[in-house]
Structure 1
Amino acid sequence: MAIQFLDLRLSNQNPTDAPPLPVPPTATPALIGDIGIQTAGVLPGNEGDVRVLLAGHVTINTGVVEAAETITFTVLRNGVPIFTTDFIVQINALTDSELADITATDTPPAADVLAGEINYTLTVSSTAAVSLATLGARNFSGVAAAGTTTS
């Protein structure tokens, strides 16, 4: 089937570093991005060839971190984890913040595509019982296309 653009969504939870968001423990991750990719216009025959590119950007403020800790980012499709990555926050006297960029891809099942919308969320948590790191600017976006050829 012909290649087809489906949707592009942005979630800009906080465009600046203030106010900072505390990083919660693993048991209660914080939602930092939520988008609904529209798939209702997918052409018949393309529902099995949908590809989604997801990207997130987060500033991690580390100025008061006293020990290394692990920050976990998880991307979920309709509440089910599809991608997880860890970011190790190091003690660094040269900077008070670090940038974390996350890129994930998804090939959702046809049943999710035919539902007309796929919900993607980005969450964050820390392995520390009480994290001293905080989050500054953060956003999450996604773009979806379908099809396999241009003819």
Structure 2
Amino acid sequence: MPIQFLDSRMSLNNTFSLGTAILTSTPTLLGDIGLQTVAAIGTPNESDVRILLWGTVGVSRSSTNLVNIYVERGGTGIFGSGELIFNSTIDLTSGPGTRLFTFTAGDFPPVSNVITGQIRYTMYVASATETPVTIVGPVSFNGSAQAGTS
């Protein structure tokens, strides 16, 4: 079947370069989208759904730290309740400053997820060490769903 557009969504947590939220070692939910797959249900495309996800996270730190970005499929909005499909660990070099991280991830969800009509994706961010890391923004999480093979 030809390529079929299914859905596109975005989650904007913070659109400006300012903020005061402090990251901890417990992953913080910063992005949450539900991508519709209804149009592929019952068609030959049902088993050829693919998801493209991308996001941006701006942080500020005073010294060396590690920041982890996680993306899960499914789940309840609590880290670990879904299936981890993406993880990136970013090493913040020493010294004060602000960094802007961007990432792209892909997913080929199983048919069992597609036939529910909507697949939830969540983005979490955590700090790996005790040195404070502040979420300053911008923070966004976006996704699109397509189906088909040609």
On whether the aligned pair clears a TM of 0.5, the verdict is yes
Contact 1:22 1:131 in 2 (8 A): no
Flag the structure with higher helix content: 2
Between the two proteins, the alignment pairs up a number of residues equal to 141
Distance 1:37 1:20 in 2: 30
Aligned alpha-carbon RMSD (Å): 1.2
Q: Which runs of 4+ in 1 moved over 6 A?
A: none
Distance 2:19 2:69 in 1: 20
Distance 2:72 2:45 in 1: 23
Q: Tell me which moved more, 104-113 or 38-47.
A: 38-47
SS of structure 2 residue aligned to 1:46: helix
Aligned to 2:46: 47
Percent identity of equivalent pairs: 37
TM-score by length of 2: 0.89
Deviation at 1:84, TM superposition (A): 0.5
Aligned to 2:31: 33
Aligned to 1:127: 128
Q: Partner amino acid for 1:125?
A: A
Distance 2:95 2:18 in 1: 21
Aligned to 2:17: 17
SS of structure 2 residue aligned to 1:41: helix
TM-score by length of 1: 0.88
Contact 2:19 2:134 in 1 (8 A): no
Aligned to 1:6: 6
- Please list every run of 5 or more consecutive structure 1 residues that lacks an aligned counterpart in the other structure: none
- Residue by residue over 1:57-116, the C-alpha shift from the partner in whole angstroms, topping out at 9 and shown as x without a partner, is 011112xx23x21101000000111110101111246xx211100110000001100100
